[in-house]
Structure 1
Amino acid sequence: MKIIKPITNWLEIHACAPTYSGWVLAGIAICFFGAGVNTMAGWLYVISGVSFALLIVAAFLPQRSLVGLVVKRRFINPVSAGDELTVELEIRNNTKQPVNLLQVEDILPIVLGKPIHQPIETIHSQGSYNWVYNHPTVRRGIYRWQTVELATGAPLGLFWCRRQHECAAKAIVYPTVLPLTNCPLVDEIGQDDSIKSDPRGKPFQTATAGLTRSLRPYRTGDPIRLIHWRSSARYGELRIRELEKVTNGQDIVIALDSAATWEEDNFEQAVIAAASLYFYAQRQQMQVQLWTAATDLVKGEKMVLETLAATHAGEDSIAKAPNKPLIWLTPNPAIAFLPNGSRWVLWQNTSTVNWDYPGIIIQSDRPLQLQLQTGY
């Protein structure tokens, strides 16, 4: 069987291969021919000749049906992990004859799922068939595939024929972005160096620091110190002050230590944390960038999400982390020096972290969102 299957696949793709019924008819034709040789009966020769002619026609027609078919693929919109990809294919018949009883198979990469099949009853002459299907996603990544197979056994079903079409596809699955309501890691970054001096020697501090920007309803996890009690009494519900953030004119960098050696689940958590911290900082109107070992600094929603979708643990490092306040996401507790005003997030069970700045040790048995919102 191990030898027969590759031969059958080769025949189906490059010519055509008999189906079970085709083998049965071929066997019957051979038997009738043998009986005719032994008995010299003409009617046996006629039956065997008709059977062989039927086999020849059945082997020729499926191949002819697949000539002139063109496959085109529409652009696949990016989705977040857990959502469904929408894949759209157009199969066009450029011949003057309709094509009947066709099967289309989109050969997905193994990590994304099994091949998807779709039967098509008829594609009319100079017509087309639009096939749209949704495919679930589990993990982030950039997935590429390029093969679509068209197959048919029509009209007699005695032979099966397949033809492969090059039809490149690229599907981007973004990491999950957690809806953080607050995050001390981002809110307090850079405050260790919040007082600067201008060229005249006078201290400089952002004028809007500590000023109330707006009020909003209380959400679970909000710090009690930000409750505006007077407004809460007036509205009959707790109201939270949203303050202007101090960034001291410096960029904030979410730095993912992707060159390090990670456990698989921890690295996926770190990617989710990086995306969540980036978008939280962006909502706070901070100048934020993402750094990974393989890409250096990137910014912009699309670029950041695509970078995080493509990154992997242990990738080659092309750049050093910038000398700016960082939120350093790493599994390595041995790093001793970070730029002034930095914070860190560590994925390792340890109680000895001798770093100069505060941070979070992520516990695998607790929700990641809660730990990022609780802070240190």
Structure 2
Amino acid sequence: MLTRRGWSLVGACLGLFVAGRLLGTVELSILATGGVALLAGALVWARTRTWELDAGRDLRPARLHVGADGRVDLAISNRGARRTPQLSVTDVFDNGKRAARFLLPPLPPDETARAAYRIPTARRGRYRVGPLAVTATDPFGLARRTWGLGGFSEVTVCPRVHDILAPRQPGGRLVASVESVRARALVSEGGEEFLTLREYEVGDDLRRVHWRSTARTGELMVRQDEAQWRARAVVVLDVRPGAHDHGSFELAVEATASVVDRLTRMRRQVEVVTGAGQRLGQTRPGRSRTFDVMDQLATIEPGGTDRLGSVLSSLRARGRAALVVAVMGTMSAAELDALGGLTAHGSVTVVATRPPLTVLPGDRIAPPASAGAVSTQALVVVDTYAVPFPIAWNETMTRWQLSALATSPPSPSPR
């Protein structure tokens, strides 16, 4: 096909031909004919010239998070016996919405040229990269030919993951990480069995310090009970379209990813469900891989049938989740009461991404009378509307930890 310069020459030749006829000047007609011949030669050159090129693409990494650094490495080799002219190479991203363009210098036979560009990570999603588009232009720049080279690649941009404190557990204390577990089953002198010893982390209950191991190792060691090791956590993501605007939904997805990442690094069994009843995945203790859940969160959008009430009722009926984290948009009083009903079985934390809140951040909601047994648990509200999520979350968890330590009755220090 003709380039912009080629089409300009077409217009010039037409003007020369018309002027030659009107003025009766043979020279102008000859110039027009010469221009047409030049265009024809350029088109033939572009259509008939071929080169044997090979291309490779390497995504580093193929899965990353919003705001992370990623790159695409390209390698183009000349497998033919002729030297290539200067070529233009374009690698398209996200079905052509973005593109990286390079000029490929003339390549001798069996030579390889390399280039790289950064992966756009401003938005989460699953994006297709490629194929490469190679363009050859004739020496006069009048005609060009473009052909595809190589195949497609896929890159997944997962939601941003924030560094947050461990969620609050029953009794008002934070669950510390077991990333540095020194795992072995142990029995205290009083006959109380616990699963592991691990290093102290900020937020741990000081009453769980194992003083003998602390004296022996020189580091503050904390007991990890078997019940807490095996306890299941459920993260509920509100996907109702009416509950979110674009900004609040992206915040909700980031909050969900951050909580799942934190709990997984604590080797907790985590199940992720949406308010539409869709199960996004489950992680199990001892497995740090959260790829399945993160891949689902990378592409999730608001929508679907509103089954939030059914999801919460199911969690309450089963009563198997020791920890529930609900990432919500706009909430009604009925939905907040339903979340409060879950506190009869464990700890519930609500991350509110949109106002208005019917309770103040950090307020406690006692479970309804129909919840069964009397519970000392509380529902904790983390308000992220006016304060960034990681700051709001960490401040709320720390405030609850300090409050629990101040109000807890004194108990003998464990050995």
TM-score for both structures, normalised by structure 2:
0.65
Aligned to 2:224: 244
| Matched ranges for 1:46-57 at <5 A | 47-57=31-41
Q: 1:330 aligns with which of 328, 331, 339?
A: 328
Shift in alpha-carbon separation, 1:190–1:184, aligned structure 2, 3 A: closer
- In the TM superposition, what is the alpha-carbon distance from 1:161 to its structure 2 partner? 3.5
In the other structure, the counterpart of 2:387 is: 366
Identity of aligned residues (%): 19
Q: Is residue 61–residue 155 contact of structure 1 (8 Å, CA) maintained in 2?
A: no
Letter in 2 for 1:83: A
Is 1:257 aligned to residue 264 of structure 2? Answer: no
Show structure 1 runs of 5+ residues with no match: 1-15, 192-204
User: Relative to structure 2, which stretch is displaced further, 353-362 or 307-316?
Assistant: 353-362
Task: Output the amino acid matched with 2:297.
Answer: L
Shift in Å at residue 172 of structure 1?
A: 0.8
Deviates most, 309-318 or 361-370: 309-318
Q: How does 1:132-151 map to 2 (within 5 A)?
A: 132-151=116-135
1:9 corresponds to which residue? none
Say whether the 8 Å CA contact 2:42–2:142 is kept in structure 1.
Answer: yes
Contact 2:264–2:290 (Cα < 8 Å) also in 1: no
Contact 2:208 2:223 in 1 (8 A): no
Q: Which residue of 1 aligns with 2:302?
A: 313
Q: Which amino acid aligns with 1:253?
A: V
Pairing 1:219-238 to 2, within 5 Å after superposition: 222=203
Is the 8 Å Cα contact of residues 190 and 247 (structure 1) preserved in structure 2? Answer: no
Q: Do the aligned residues in 2 keep the contact of 1:255 with 1:291 (CA within 8 Å)? A: yes
Counterpart in 2 of 1:208? 194
Please state whether the residue corresponding to 1:115 is helix, strand or coil.
strand
C-alpha displacement at 1:72, in angstroms? 4.4
* 1:174, distance to aligned residue in structure 2 (A): 1.9
Contact 2:272–2:279 under 8 Å retained in 1? no
Larger mean CA deviation between 174-183 and 348-357 belongs to 348-357
Deviation at 1:33? Answer: 5.2
- Supply the distance in 2 between the matched residues of 1:154 and 1:17 (Cα, whole angstroms): 10
Mapping of residues 1-376 of structure 1, within 5 Å: 16-20=1-5, 22-30=6-14, 47-65=31-49, 68-69=52-53, 71-75=55-59, 77-109=62-94, 114-125=98-109, 127-164=111-148, 167-184=151-168, 207-208=193-194, 213-216=197-200, 222=203, 242-245=222-225, 246-247=227-228, 249-259=230-240, 261-292=243-274, 293-299=277-283, 300-315=289-304, 320=311, 323=318, 324-325=320-321, 326-331=324-329, 332-333=331-332, 334-335=334-335, 336=338, 337-338=341-342, 340-347=345-352, 348-352=355-359, 356=367, 357-373=378-394, 374-375=396-397, 376=400
Contact 2:174-2:204 at 8 Å conserved across structures: no
Shift of 1:157: 0.5
Cα shift at 1:206: 7.9
For residues 145 and 269 of structure 1, what CA distance do their matches in structure 2 show?
A: 26
RMSD, matched Cα: 4.2
Q: Are residues 187 and 117 of structure 1, via their aligned partners in 2, closer, same or farther at CA, if it must alter by over 3 Å?
A: farther
**Partner Cα separation in structure 1 for residue 356 and residue 94 of structure 2:** 35
Q: Which amino acid aligns with 2:73?
A: E
* Whole-Å separation in 2 of the counterparts to 1:189 and 1:315: 36
Q: State the one-letter code of the partner of 2:278.
A: A
CA, structure 1 residues 188+253, in 2 after alignment: closer, same or farther (shift >3 Å)? farther
